[in-house]
């Protein structure tokens, strides 16, 4: 496939994110403003209670998008007018929202980090009024992006170094398609067909032609000749519109043995990849690569491991989380200011939906070979947890600063943030035990233990 190099990244459209929220966030705000509790200092925690069935780890993605959303969380005249007209909240609350700017602190796992049940992925700290109304937008971003990245990581593991290309835009909401492309690249995909994702995040974009282009022409030869004339012999020709063997022969006749690649999008990919490789070699097109697509997921990619395939085009499965479209992340209040002015742990006790109170920090324990052996969550008295540092060299701290007194750390946003996240994921996944990459069902790759600071 031909590729468009990354363009100079630009920021996302500057529309407000303030109404990307559930109504109860604002009604809670109104009630807390009225009873005087809105100003209580609070800590909210994002975590997941379990991984999807069969998964051994998750991949955190969307942190950079969360930071953009927090920066754009502003109630302008249009938003306030609509809230007033529909009676969602009262006048004092509208006045508060008109002045709203997040002034708290956010810390969390670096984007791209692997996570496990109970990992304290993000801590949002500030007044109740500051933090509570961010719940919906934070979770909607992290749950979707992390689901895509978790699936994408399984696919890039199965690909064993062969490139995976994201092609799922037509199977998702238009904005979800952009987010999915970004999340897939965080987890190791090397390019996307989505141009807005390329523009917004500086991603490599890929694509040449679909079957409709071949069908447009009077015959396959005319279609291939026109494509080669427009894009050069290094292009990728789609050879399965009619007959694959005939399509490969025609492709090499038209483009020569310097043809960049052929793509197969249907049929028995294992058998066809082998036959096409033999045919290309016999025709002297030894350097022509083979790209396969057609409803691939991690299991299909793994099945093609012994086939002479050079890259994989993945669509529906990656943008839908390959059967796990959400990570089940929640945003829970774990500490709030008490009558004496200190932070007090609070927790929910409901069956199967409980939470553990108190501020937390996390680290990953590694052995002498650099392999992760456990996730360590540190809990206890608030001042002790806040001051905690790993006592020895085998614990790698996981929390990084993201927002400080309302100021976003821009290292994690834009194109630079995606590159940083992709690098972090490579290192984090390489740290896991080798069996963590298995696609068979099993427990989390490492256990999570809690210690007291």
For residue 7, the Cα-to-chain-centroid distance in whole angstroms is 21
Say if CB 152 and CB 315 are below 8 A apart.
Answer: no
Buried b (16+ CB within 10 A) or exposed e, 133-167: bbbbbbbbbbbbbbbbbbbbbbbbbbbeeebbbbb
pLDDT for the residue 445: 96
End-to-end CA distance of the chain: 53
Q: Is 370 exposed, middle or buried (0-12, 13-18, 19+ CB in 10 A)?
A: exposed
Structural domain boundaries in the chain: 12-145+325-355+399-435, 149-323
CA contacts within 13 A on the Cβ side of 299: 8
pLDDT for the residue 5: 45
pLDDT for the residue 14: 53
pLDDT for the residue 8: 39
Structure tokens at 203: 């991603």
Beta strand pairing status for 114-115 and 205-206?
unpaired
Q: What are the distances in angstroms from CA 64 to CA 30, 53, 109?
A: 29, 27, 12
Could you check whether 12-145+325-355+399-435 and 149-323 share the same CATH topology? no
Three-class SS of the chain = CCEECCCCCCCCCCCCCCCCCCHHHHHHHHHHHHHCCCCCEEEEEEEECCCCCCCCCEECCCHHHHHHHHHCCCCCHHHHHHHHHHCCCCHHHHHHHHCCCCCCEEEEECCCCEECCCCCCEEEEEEHHHHHHHHHHHHHHHHHHHHHHHHHHHHHHHHCCCCEEECCHHHCCHHHHHHHHHHHHHCCCCEECCHHHHHHHCCCEECCCCHHHHHHCCCHHHHHHHHHHHHCCCCEEECCCCCHHHHHHHHHHHHCCCCCEEEECCCCHHHHHHHHHHHHHHCCCCCCEEEECCCCCHHHHHHCCCCCCCEEEECHHHHCHHHCCCCCEEEEEEEEECCCCCEEECCCCCCCCCCCCCCCEEEEEECCCCCEEEEEEEECCHHHHHCCCCCCCCEEECEEEEEECCEECHHHCHHHHHHHHHHHHHHHHHHCCHHHHCCCCCCCCCCEEEEEC
Q: Is 2 exposed, middle or buried (0-12, 13-18, 19+ CB in 10 A)?
A: middle
What residues contact 35, with CB distance under 8 A and at least 6 apart? none
CA contacts within 13 A on the Cβ side of 249: 5
Tokens 């390329």 sit on residue: 198
Here the contacts of 223-232 (C-beta below 8 Å, separation 24 or greater) are: 224/250, 224/251, 224/254, 224/255, 225/254, 228/254, 228/255, 231/2, 232/2
Q: Which overall architecture, per CATH, does domain 12-145+325-355+399-435 show? A: Alpha-Beta Barrel (3.20)
Say if CB 237 and CB 255 are below 8 A apart.
Answer: yes
Q: Which residues of the chain have pLDDT under 50?
A: 2, 4-13
What is the dotted CATH code of the domain comprising 149-323?
A: 3.20.20.70
pLDDT tens per residue across span 43-102: 999 999 999 988 999 999 999 999 999 999 999 999 999 999 999 999 999 999 999 999
pLDDT for the residue 202: 97
pLDDT for the residue 29: 98
Torsion sign across C-alpha atoms 217, 220, 222, 224: positive
Tokens 């008295």 sit on residue: 381
Pick the closest to residue 264 from 205, 218, 310, 318 (CA basis).
Answer: 310
């Amino acid at each position: 496939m031909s590729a468009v190099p990354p363009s100079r990244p630009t920021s996302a459209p500057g529309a407000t994110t303030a109404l990307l929220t559930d109504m109860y966030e604002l009604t809670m705000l109104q009630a807390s403003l009225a009873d005087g509790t809105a100003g209580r200092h609070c800590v909210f925690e994002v975590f997941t209670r379990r991984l999807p069935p069969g998964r051994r780890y998750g991949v955190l993605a969307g942190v950079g998008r969360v930071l953009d959303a927090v920066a754009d969380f502003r109630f302008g005249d249009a938003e306030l007018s609509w809230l007033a007209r529909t009676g969602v909240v009262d006048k004092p609350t509208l006045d508060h929202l008109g002045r709203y700017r997040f002034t708290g602190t956010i810390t969390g796992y670096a984007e791209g980090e692997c996570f496990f049940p109970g990992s304290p992925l993000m801590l949002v700290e500030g007044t109740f009024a500051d933090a509570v109304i961010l719940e919906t937008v934070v979770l909607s971003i992290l749950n979707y992006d992390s689901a895509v990245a978790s699936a994408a990581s399984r696919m890039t593991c199965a690909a064993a170094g062969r490139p995976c290309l994201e092609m799922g835009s037509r199977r998702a909401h238009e904005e979800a398609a952009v987010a999915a492309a970004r999340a897939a690249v965080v987890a190791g995909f090397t390019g996307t067909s989505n141009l807005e994702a390329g523009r917004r995040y500086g991603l490599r974009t890929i694509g040449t032609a679909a079957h409709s282009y071949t069908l447009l022409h009077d015959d396959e030869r005319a279609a291939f000749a026109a494509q080669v004339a427009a894009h050069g012999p290094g292009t990728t020709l789609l050879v399965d519109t009619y007959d694959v063997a005939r399509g490969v022969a025609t492709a090499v006749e038209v483009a020569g043995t310097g043809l960049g690649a052929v793509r197969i999008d249907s049929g028995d990919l294992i058998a066809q990849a082998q036959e096409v490789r033999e045919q290309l070699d016999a025709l002297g097109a030894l350097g022509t690569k083979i790209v396969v697509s057609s409803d691939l997921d991690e299991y299909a990619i793994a099945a093609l491991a012994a086939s002479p395939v050079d890259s994989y085009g993945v669509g529906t499965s990656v943008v839908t989380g390959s059967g796990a479209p959400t990570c089940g992340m929640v945003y829970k209040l774990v500490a709030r200011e008490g009558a004496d002015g200190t932070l007090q742990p609070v927790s929910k006790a409901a069956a199967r939906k409980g939470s553990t109170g108190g501020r937390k920090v996390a680290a990953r324990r590694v052995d002498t070979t650099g392999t992760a052996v456990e996730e360590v969550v540190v809990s206890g008295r608030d001042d002790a947890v806040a001051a905690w540092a790993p006592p020895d060299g085998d614990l790698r701290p996981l929390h990084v600063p993201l927002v400080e007194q309302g100021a976003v750390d821009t290292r994690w946003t834009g194109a630079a943030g995606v590159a940083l996240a992709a690098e972090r994921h490579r290192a984090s996944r390489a740290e896991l035990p080798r069996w963590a990459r298995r696609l068979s069902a099993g427990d989390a790759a490492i256990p999570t233990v809690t210690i007291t600071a």
